[in-house]
Amino acid sequence: MRRPASFATFVVFVLLSAANLGNAQSTAPASQKEPAPDVPDAIQAPANEEVVLLAHAVGSQIYTCQAGAEGKFNWVLKAPDAELHDRNDKVIGQHSAGPSWKLKDGSEVTGKMAAKVDALDPASIPWLLVKAVSHSGNGVLSNVTTIQRVRTHGGQPPAEGCDEAHKGTETKSSYTADYYFYAPAK
């Protein structure tokens, strides 16, 4: 059965409209600015910066059992190892030692902790303010100057199990956190 020309025109119109809607949705997040999180003053980003990326981290904090200056053994942070996810839970990058954050677009930023506050949950790692110290690649992280780690869950080292018999032993503590990346406002 042959359909009337108006049906074919309608199908083409629907397909083109859907394609345009898909394009509009994919560019919408870039035009909408991510609001900064509500955080204590100690870890506020500078007023002249804006959020350029929010990434949700899922992974581990890796600790090593080491002797301190007084011979007392403690779990010491070796490195984070986490995947970075966007708002749609798509993996967009990796967080690792440095600390550094590297996105699939090839951009990378390494930072140094500037300030910290206790997490709302005492069983979770602190919230941080991190200042960028180096960059590589071109992409979203190229101009990042400040990073915040907030809304942490988990990640603390074990309360026990680090002694002379376990010197050099590594352990992983699962954690999640939100990372806000800031760059100078345009």
Q: Which residues pair with 174 in a beta bridge?
A: 60
Q: Which amino acid is at 102?
A: K
d(Cα 53, Cα 92) in Å, to the nearest integer? Answer: 11
Token couple for 123: 């069983």
Residues 33-76 have pLDDT tens digits of: 899 999 999 999 999 999 999 999 999 999 999 998 888 999 99
Mean pLDDT computed over every residue of the chain: 86
d(Cα 7, Cα 87) in Å, to the nearest integer? Answer: 38
Per the model's pLDDT, the better-predicted residue between 71 and 32 turns out to be: 71
Kindly state the average pLDDT of the residues 161-168. 94
Peptide bond between residue 99 and the one before it cis (omega within 30 degrees of 0): yes
d(Cα 151, Cα 125) in Å, to the nearest integer? Answer: 9
Closest residue by Cα to residue 172 from 148, 155, 147: 155
Is the pLDDT reported for residue 16 higher than 80?
no
